[in-house]
Structures are given as C-alpha cells and as structure tokens.
Amino acid sequence: MNEQAETKKYRAFISYKHGHASYFSEALAQALASYSTNLFESPREIFRDEDYVKPTADIPTAVNEALADSDYLILLASPEAAHSPWVLSELNIWCETHNRTDKIIIVHTEGNIETDSHRKCIVWENTDALPHYLRDRISDDPLIIDATALMSDRYLDLEIVPFRDAVNRIVSQFYDLPPVEMSGVAQLKTKSNNRLKRIGYGIVSVSIFIALFIGTVALERNEVVAAFIDYNTAPDKKSKEQQLAIQEQCEKIRNQEDLPLKPPVDGSQTDIDAIIESCAPLNNLTEAEGGISGLTDKELIKHMSIQWIYNDGGARSNYFRARILKGERPYEALVHYVQSHNLNKPKMNERRPQCALLKLGRKKAEAAFCRHSDQKP
C-alpha cells in the first residue's frame, strides 16, 4: 500500500456532540487507529477531544491546534450535532480557516439525511442530521457512511462485518484507495499478524518449557505466563451463562442514568466511605506521583484496565463474573472487586485502579467495561 506522506499529527479529527455519541465515537476512534496496521506498527493518531484534552486545558486552543494538525475531519452526523455550537465552530474553522471542505467524511449516526440518487445531491429540506452551514460548502455528492444501524454496543467491534466495512471505507480515504483494495490490504496484514503471533506463542512456549528447570521462583513466574497464554488462546473457557449475563447487563444499562455507587451486597455505606477516604490523596497527585489529578477519561480507563491484565485475568476472573451472574451491576462489581485487592495497599499507585473508577463514574466505567467484555485482556 502506498501510504501518503504523513505530514500531520492526526489522521482524522472526530467532530461530534457529546452524550449519546460519545460511546460510538470512542469505539470508532479505536477501530480507526488499529484497522489494517502491522503488529509492530504504531496505531494511527485519531483526535477525539475526550481522549486528548485534559480538564484543565484551554479547550478552544487545543481543538484549534488539533484541527490544524489533522488530515481529515470526520463528522458524526445527527440532529444533536447539527445544532451543537461546538460542532459548528469546528466545521467553521475547518472550512473557513483551513479551507479543507474536500477532506470531510460524514458518518451518519442518527436522524435523517435524504439524498437524490438521480441528481446525486443532498435533499436539504428533508435532512435534519447535517447543519445547513454545510449546504454551500461541501460537494453535492459527499462521502456519507451510514452507521445508523451500528449504534448499539454489540455492533462496535471489527469482527462485526457492517462496522468493519464502515471503518474500511473511512481508512480507504486516508490512503486514497478503493474500499475493495483497502479491504484486501487489511486481510493480508491480518494474516501476517496472526502468523507472527503464532510464532511468538511458539517462542514463548519453548521459553516456558526451558524455564521450568530453573528453580522455584522461575517456575512460579512462568506458571503465570503460561496461564496468560492459555487464556489468550482459549477465551471460550468462559461459561455461556456468564457471558450472556454480561451481555444482558450491558444492554440494559446502556442508556441508564449515571447513578451513584452502591455498597456491595454484603456491605454498607462504610465501604464506599473507605474508598473515598483512600482516594482523597490521589486526587491531588499527578500521574507521575501515583495519582489521578488532571487525567483524561482515556487515561483513567487505562488505569482502571490494570485489573483486566493481572489477578488471573482480572475482570474476567470467575469471581468477578460470578458477581455479575448474580445480577450485580458492572460498576459495583468493578469497584468492589478492585477495592478488595487494592484498598489497603501502602503505595499510592496501587490504589489507583479503584480511584480511577470512582472518578470516572458509573456511565463511563460501565461503557468501558462493556466495550472490553468481549475482548481478550
């Protein structure tokens, strides 16, 4: 694939209305970053303000700089976005300041975009998902990708063909390739990556076999490694009942309100007070100091994700999934499970997972969990 010279920091800037579209925008950004990349290749940089802009930052300046340093603008089109002052401001900067109307990709998420197939144009009178600001600024027949059927979290995975096709069409624009050719390139890279993984697993397996002869300490460490490899190669060890329970929970809670944390089934408000007290010092410490001050949602989720890698698979451990199987909400299961491991740790950064969860709040933490629940840690 002949890639264009990457002179800008970001391959794309995602413009969207916060709220309902946040979940979709995050999944899309992650998919665009990784789709059709080699195993050892750096992911593409996709700007999404909730990932890159810190709460203490000068937001307008940060957004303006990101727009100037992006190859494409991806508009998540919906009636809410069409009336958002932030979205309109971003479009105005893109079209007027940078004069890059030919680099807009429209992803239709909600509402109506009516097109006339004969005249090859948008019927603006019957369109409510696009700001009429664009009427005289984009071509009569722009690239519009229909994602209205992909807004449920169950579809936001590159293993799901419609979502992968939508991502493929966008990435094909990055490299000026027909979607069919881009898909072929992606398949070749996937095969190459799988081959490298198999080689890696083989090398690691041989290394583990050799390490079994090198003392008790080495034996214990390699047992952990062997378990992790086995987990990656046999994810179907999860029971069907457990996985269905997680899927049902995620579907139920997707649009629910951001309720406060509840005590564990066998506990009381004292448990929550203990977490709040334990996390208070971390709220004033930077990441380098072991704290969570000034971290973006993406950075908080990264620290919350520690549990998915350690502790025998973390959030996928039988103990954790059993809590959800009994009907406990993922947020409570996450916080109280991590709390039971980390609350009394003497080092600040060892308490950070539950503090990151507490600061994220229910909606963002549960959305991150549901997005990862079908993936390997």
Neighbour-count burial of 23, counting CB atoms closer than 10 A to its CB (0-12 exposed, 13-18 middle, 19+ buried)? buried
The predicted structure's pLDDT at residue 279: 84
Q: Are residues 281 and 335 in the same domain?
A: yes
Kindly state whether residues 113 and 258 are assigned to the same domain: no
Same domain, 227 and 336: no
Is residue 15 in some structural domain?
yes
4 part of a folded domain: no
Query: Which of 146, 177, 208 delimits the end of a domain?
Result: 177
State whether 19 and 159 are in the same domain.
yes
- Residue 340's pLDDT is 59
pLDDT for residue 376? 41
> 302 and 188: one domain?
no
pTM (global) more than 0.75: no
Domain finish residue from 130, 156, 177:
177
Asked, for residue 3, whether it belongs to a domain, the answer is no
pLDDT (0 to 100) of residue 197 = 60
> Does any domain span residue 23?
yes
Is 377 a member of any domain? no
Q: Give the residue numbers spanning the domain of 220.
A: 184-233
Q: What is the mean pLDDT of each run of 10 residues along the chain (377 residues)?
A: 63 92 91 85 88 80 94 96 95 94 94 89 93 89 90 84 92 90 82 66 60 44 35 41 67 72 75 82 86 87 60 47 63 69 62 83 80 54
Pair (135, 194) in one structural domain: no
pLDDT given at position 303? 79
Shared domain for 296 and 197, answered yes or no, is no
Q: Report if residue 277 sits inside a domain.
A: yes
48: in domain: yes
> Domain of 59: which CATH number?
3.40.50.10140
User: Quick one: 254 and 360 in the same domain?
Assistant: yes
**The pLDDT value given to residue 282:** 87
What are the beta bridge partners of residue 104? 73
pLDDT of amino acid 199: 67
Q: What is the tally of structural domains in the chain?
A: 3
Domain boundary among 132, 153, 177: 177
Confidence (pLDDT) at 24: 92
Whether 112 and 244 map to the same domain: the answer is: no
Residue 51 lies in a domain: yes
Q: Map the chain to HEC letters.
A: CCCCCCCCCEEEEEECCCCHHHHHHHHHHHHHHHCCCCCCCCCCCEECHHHHCCCCCCHHHHHHHHHHCEEEEEEEECHHHHCCHHHHHHHHHHHHHCCCHHHEEEEECCCCCCEECCCCEECHHHCCCCCHHHCCCCCCCCCEEECHHHCCHHHCCCCCHHHHHHHHHHHHHHCCCCHHHHHHHHHHHHHHHHHHHHHHHHHHHHHHHHHCCCHHHHHHHHHHHHHHHHHHHCHHHCCHHHHHHHHHHHHHHCCCCCCCCCCCCCCCHHHHHHHHHHHHHHHHCCCCCCCCCCCCHHHHHHHHHHHHCCCCCHHHCHHHHHHHHCCCCHHHHHHHHHHHHHCCCCCHHHHHHHHHHHHHCHHHHHHHHHHHCCCCC
- Same domain membership, residue 216 and residue 258: no
pLDDT for the residue 362: 82
